[in-house]
Amino acid sequence: MRALALVLLVVFGAACNQPNSTKTHTPAAHLTGTIGAAAYVIDVPSDWNGTLLLFSHGYVAPGGTAQATGAPTAEAGAWLNDNHFATAGSAYSSSGWAIEDAFKDQVALLDYFNTKVGRAKRVIAWGVSLGGIITAGLVQLYPDRFAAAMPLCGVLAGGVATWNTELDAAYAFKTLLAPGSALQLVRITDGRANLQLAEQIFNMAATTPQGRARLALVGSLIDLPGWFDPTQPELPATDFAGRANAQATWEARADFPFAFQYRTELEARAGGNPSWNTGVDYTQQLQSSPGRDEVAALYRQAGLDLDADLNALNGGPRIKSDPGATAYLDRFISFDGNLSVPMLSVHTTGDGLVIPPNESAYAQVVDAAGHEDMLRQVFVHRAGHCAFTAAETIAGFQVLVKRLDTGKWDDAALQPDALNAAAAKIGPTAGVIFGHRFEPSYQAYQPASYPRPFAKGSAIQT
């Protein structure tokens, strides 16, 4: 029960933007309403400095309802208002993989702001989780509307790569643990029942050393971190059993709903299955994973033949995509690297829902397009999805604003010690999340390569 409670706080609390502070502020203008089917909120201080932050919230489970908010936390929103920034955010007109609607809704809100409040001197796009991919998508599609961007724990590998990675995990899970079961990987007919079946298979596997070793292989193929609880220190790299248990918790409590249930909403939106695993070499994928030593050790302890299981994966029936559905997911959205405004992206190192290699994937396309000077990426050493304190978020934001004010990055201010010192000055309540106070924890970090990268303009395989 403790693990379930933690993931609800760590994963869905941040991704869906539940406030974690009771601090309030009174803006000079507080506007709410709807534009079409999308609720919105706008807060403008009386001494507005002319900068507007347009916030994009995270994933909302299909059928759910999001709260319109202008900041990832109430504490961050209060700081922005106190420091003369205006904020705005749309709740989007649909749930699930709502990127197409989010683009329309956020631009409509920006137009509305211009009409009702006045044109901002500059607009900064920012957002968490799914809102991170929306943020990066907004500045790619509408570069003239934005001065800068700040995705937090963003899905920056893009839609095609993200759902291909989910398919890899689901495929390995079924092939190794329940090849004869009715578990559906794509074109799922009943998402709720499919997820329940996956949970039953998982619970059975978790009771044996052989099952746990295979779950470790599933997690390592998609680079799940071996760290789940942000209130506990990261386990040593040699604690293979402990790290595998953390990966399994991420699988069952965070990733499985997307792989085995929420895919139904995506496929309905896209008009078919957008994912494929034809041509994937799972032996090579494991060799490229930071978890390869862990998997090898656990397989030896369980008396399993790792090569035999990898051969089973490489020899199993592969899945093809529906080209039209893949093209839809490519539009909403993959990245071309043509970043024309400064972007500071922030990620936790122990994120098992949106893995840190998302940052590697985005940096790769930006570098290939020759726009690497526009991008800076920093990391908070903590388990959890979007598990940043308001102080850490504000510290990064201040460096981004300085980049806009001066026209160049202050790379010294982006060093972990400098960011942590800046965060410590924000105030003690800004360091509290999930009822726990955290010290600022920026750290130098280089994520692994993304397991299945895909960039806009790549050949779409079927």
pLDDT-based confidence at residue 11 (cuts at 50, 70, 90): very low
- C-alpha distances (whole Å) from 103 to each of 2, 53, 143, 150 are 37, 15, 13, 16
Do 80 and 133 share a domain, yes or no? yes
- At residue 5, the pLDDT reads 36
User: Does 452 fall in a domain?
Assistant: no
- 281 backbone dihedrals φ, ψ, rounded to 5°: -100, 105
Instruction: Quote the pLDDT of residue 461.
Output: 63
Structure tokens at 278: 């034809």
pTM attached to this predicted model? 0.94
The answer to whether 123 and 86 have CB atoms below 8 angstroms apart is no
**Cβ contact 264:186 at 8 Å:** no
Q: Decide: 326 and 160 in contact? Cβ < 8 Å.
A: yes
Rounded to an integer, the average pLDDT of 97-101 is: 98
Look up tokens 């985005």; give the residue.
362
Rounded distance between C-alpha atoms, residue 207 and residue 200, angstroms = 11
Shared-domain flag, residues 325 and 349: no
Residues 6 or more apart from 234 whose CB is under 8 A from it? Answer: 226, 227, 350, 381, 383
Query: Other CB atoms closer than 10 Å to residue 301's CB: what's the count?
Result: 14
Same domain, yes or no: 20 and 35: yes
C-beta separation of 71 from 53 below 8 A: yes
Same domain, 430 and 373: yes
Nearest Cα residue to 207 out of 168, 170, 177 = 177
Q: Evaluate whether residue 459 is within a structural domain.
A: no
Domain that holds residue 407: 2-155+335-437
Residue 150 and residue 163 in one domain: no
Taking alpha carbons only, the member of 93, 123, 90 closest to residue 106 is 90
Q: How far is CA 24 from the centre of its chain?
A: 27
Residue 99 corresponds to which tokens in the numbers above?
A: 């990127």
If asked whether residues 174 and 36 sit together in one domain, one would say no
Q: CB–CB of 31/405 below 8 Å?
A: no
Residues 151 and 181 in one domain: no
- What pLDDT does residue 197 have? 98
Backbone torsions φ then ψ of 296, nearest 5 degrees: -60, -45
- Has residue 200 got a pLDDT over 50? yes
Q: Strand (E) positions, 336-458?
A: 343-350, 375-383, 432-433, 436-437
Q: Which candidate, 378, 353, 351, places its Cα nearest to that of 363? A: 378
Q: Is residue 455 part of a domain?
A: no
Whether residue 319 is preceded by a cis peptide bond, meaning omega within 30 degrees of 0, is: no
**Contact (CB, 8 A) for 137 and 87:** no
Tell me the CA end-to-end span of the chain in Å, nearest whole number. Answer: 41
Residue 35 and residue 116 share a domain: yes
User: Do residues 132 and 268 share a domain?
Assistant: no
SS3 38: strand
For 235-289, write each residue's pLDDT tens digit: 999 999 999 999 999 999 999 999 999 999 999 999 999 999 999 999 999 999 9
pLDDT band at 372 (very low <50, low <70, confident <90, very high): very high
As for how many domains the chain has, the answer is: 2
Q: Which amino acid is at 330?
A: D
- In 3D space, the residue among 142, 113, 108 whose CA is nearest the CA of residue 125 turns out to be 142
Judged against a pLDDT cut of 90, whether residue 4 lies above it is answered with no
Q: Which of 130, 55, 135 is nearest to 94 (CA)?
A: 130
Are residues 319 and 185 in contact, defined by beta-carbon separation less than 8 angstroms? yes
Same domain for 253 and 169?
yes
Q: Residue 76: what are its φ and ψ, rounded to 5°? A: -65, -40
Residue 12 has pLDDT above 80, yes or no: no
What is the pLDDT averaged over residues 62-80?
95
Residues 61, 204: one domain?
no
pLDDT over 70 at 17, yes or no: no
**Of 274, 308, 329, at which residue does a domain stop?**
329
Q: Is there a domain that residue 447 lies in?
A: no
Neighbouring residues of 223: CB distance < 8 A, sequence distance ≥ 6: 289, 290, 291, 355, 356, 357, 448, 450, 451
Residues 309 and 179 in one domain: yes
Q: Which pLDDT tens digit goes with each residue over 312-365?
A: 999 999 999 999 999 999 999 999 999 999 999 999 999 999 999 999 999 999
Is pLDDT at 70 greater than 80 in this prediction?
yes
Angle subtended at Cα 330 by Cα 325 and Cα 334, rounded to the nearest 5 degrees: 155
- C-alpha 187/C-alpha 267 separation (Å) is 7
Which of 280, 295, 329 represents a domain boundary (last residue)? 329
Q: Is residue 445 part of a domain?
A: no
Domain boundary among 297, 329, 361: 329
